[in-house]
Amino acid sequence: MAESQKLAAEEQSKDNAHEIPSSVHEAPAAVLGEGALDPVYEAKAKILNKAIQDIGMGRYQWQLFIVIGFGWASDNLWPIVTSLIFTPVKNEFNPARAPFLQLAQNIGLLVGAIFWGFGCDIFGRRWAFNLTIAITGVFGLAAAGSPNFAAIGTFAALWSVGVGGNLPVDSAIFLEFLPGTHQWLLTVLSIDWALAQVFATLIAWPLLGNMTCQEDDTNCTKSENMGWRYFMLAMGGVAMIMFFLRFVCFTIYESPKYLMGKGRDAEAVKVVHEVARRNGTTSPLTLEDLELCNSLAAAPGGGGQGSNHPINAQTAPTSSHATTALKRNLEKVSAQHLKALFANRTLILSTTLITLIWAFIGLAFPLYNAFLPFLQATRGADFGDSSTYLVYRNSLIIAVLGVPGCLLGGYLVETRILGRKGTLAASTVLTGAFILCSTTALDSASLLGWNCAYNFMSNIMYAVLYSYTPEIFPTKDRGTGNAVTASANRVFGIMAPIVAMFADLETSVPVYVSGALFVAAGLAVLALPFESRGKASM
C-alpha cells in the first residue's frame, strides 16, 4: 500500500512538472524577485521574457529605439521651448505675472502624465504612443499665432498635455519589447533628451537672437518680435514630422505582456511571432505555454487573487463576447493597478521612495532654473558678459555636455560596483553638489563651469531615473506606476513658478534649497529595495 502511494506521488510530481513550461525556470532573473506578484502573472511574464530574449535584439527593437527617442526628445524639448520664448513673450504682451506661462505648462504636464500614464494601463500603449506627439505638434503650431498672453498660456498647457504622456507611455512600451540583456538601452535612450536641448538652442540662436525685442524696449510690437513665432512653427513642424514617422512609417505592436495581463494570451503570442518575423527569425512560443500557467491559480499557495485576476479571464466561462467586453470595461475603471503598486511591504517601500525621489527632483530642477537668472545677472552682466551671442554660446556649451553624460550613464548602470542604484544615487548627489557650488561663482566663466558640471551630472541622473523607474514596476501596472511618479514630479514642478512669483528673486536661498533637495533625493535612492542590473523587468 505504501509502495503504491509512493508511485502515485511520483506520477503526480511528474504531471505537475509537465504542466509548467520549462521556460518559466529558464527565464532571466526577475527585477522584483520571486513571489512579489500574482503567481500566474509571474509565470506568464517569465515565459514572455524568455521568448523576447530568444528572439533577441533585432530590426524591430532598433526601429523602436529610434521612434521612442522622439518621445524622450519631446520631453526635454518643449519645456526648453517655453523657457526660450519666455522673455520675448513677456516683452511683447507685458503680462502682470509672466511666470503664469511656466505654470500653465506645468499644469498641462501634470494632466498629461496622469491621463496618459493611467490610460495606457487601461486602453493600451498604441494609441497613446501616437497621439501624444500629435497633440504636441498641433498645439505647438497653433501657438505661433497667439494674439495675447492668455492664448500662448493656453496653448502651452495644451501642448504640454501631449508632452506629459511621452515618458510614462514610451518607457513602458520600449521596455516591454527589450530583451533582458539589453535593458541598459533605456538609459542610453536619454541621449535624445540631451540632443533635443542642443537642437532647440541651435534653432533659437538665429531666430530669437536676431528677431526679438530687447529687454529695455518699451514699445515691443509683433512685427519686431517675430522670432519666437517662427521658433514655434519650427518646433511644431518637427513634432508633426515625428508623428508622421511614428504613425505612417512604423508599425507599433501592442505590448505582449500588457495583452497577457488583460487575459488576451492568444494576442500576446501573435505579437511575439510578429516581432520574430520582423527580426527575421522564429519563436517556439505557443498559446499552450501560457495557458498551462493558469493551473498555478488553483495550486496550494497559488494566491487568492489568481482566480479573479484579469490574466485568467480567458479561462472563465463567458456567456457572450458582449458580456466579456462589458466585464473588461468595468474592470478598467477599478483601482487595481494602483493597489498593486502597494501589494506588500517591499512594494510599498519601493513605490513610496521612488515617488518621493521624483517629487524632490520635480521641485529642485525648475526651482534652480527659475532663480538662475539672478545668478547670471549678478555673476555675468556685472562683468559685461550679457550679450545675446554669449548667452546662446554658453547655453549651447552646457547643452552639448549633456550628450556624453547620457552615454556614460548607459555604461555605468551595467557595472557591477555601481549598477542602477549606485549610478543614480551618485549622480543625483553630485547634481545637487554642483548646484550648491554654483553660488560661489564670482564671474560668468566660473558660473558656466559649474553649470556645465551640473548639466553633465543631471543628464546621467535623468538617464538612469527614466530607465530604472519603469523597470521596478510590473508590466500590468507599469503605466500607473509611471503616472504616479510623473504626477508627483509635475505637482512639485508647479510650485516652482509660484515660488518665483511670490518669493524674493534677489537671493540665492532657493538655489541652496534646490541643491539640498537633489542631495536628499540621491540619499533616498540608497534605500530602494530593488537593483535591476542584470535582471529582466516583469
- Give pLDDT tens digits along the chain (538 positions): 445 544 444 444 444 444 555 555 555 555 555 555 667 777 888 888 888 888 888 999 999 999 999 988 998 899 889 888 888 888 889 888 888 898 899 899 989 988 888 887 777 778 888 889 999 999 999 999 999 999 999 999 999 999 988 888 888 888 888 887 888 888 888 888 888 988 998 898 888 878 888 665 667 888 888 889 999 999 999 999 999 998 888 888 888 888 887 888 899 899 999 999 999 998 888 888 888 887 765 555 554 443 334 444 443 333 334 344 334 443 444 567 778 788 788 888 989 999 999 999 988 888 887 666 555 555 554 444 456 667 777 888 888 888 888 889 888 888 888 888 999 999 999 999 999 988 887 777 888 888 899 999 999 998 889 888 888 887 777 878 888 888 888 888 888 777 767 766 566 677 888 899 999 999 999 999 888 776 666 5
Q: Which residue has the cell 547643452?
A: 399
SS3 content of the chain, % helix, strand, coil (to 5): 75, 0, 25
Q: What whole-number distance in Å separates Cα of residue 199 and Cα of residue 201? A: 5
Tell me what pLDDT residue 507 has. Answer: 65
pLDDT at 23: 52
How far is residue 97's CA from residue 124's CA, in Å, rounded to a whole number? 40
Closest CA to 86 of 140, 136, 152, 144: 152
Contact between 139 and 188 under an 8 Å Cβ cutoff? The reply is no
pLDDT attached to residue 378: 55
Element of type H or E holding 170: helix 166-175
Q: Does domain 59-253+342-525 have CATH number 3.90.420.10?
A: no
**Grid cell locating 84:** 526660450
**Grid cell at residue 489:** 514630479
Q: What's the pLDDT at 522?
A: 95
Cα 326 from chain centroid (whole Å): 31
CA distance 156 to 79: 9
Torsion sign across C-alpha atoms 441, 444, 450, 454:
positive
CA distance 147 to 229: 11
Instruction: Decide if 179 contacts 55 (C-beta within 8 A).
Output: yes
> Domain locations in the chain?
59-253+342-525
In the chain, the amino acid numbered 91 is N
Rounded Cα distance between 384 and 381, Å, is: 5
Q: Say how far apart CA 52 and CA 536 lie, in whole Å.
A: 11
Helix axes 475-502, 345-379, angle to 10 degrees: 30
- Which residues are paired to 237 by β-bridges? none
Identify which of 286, 334, 367 has the alpha carbon closest to the alpha carbon of residue 106: 367
Question: What is the C-alpha end-to-end distance of the chain, expressed in Å?
Answer: 45
Three-state DSSP at 30 gives: strand
Beta strands in 145-279 (DSSP E): none
Cell of 18: 509537465
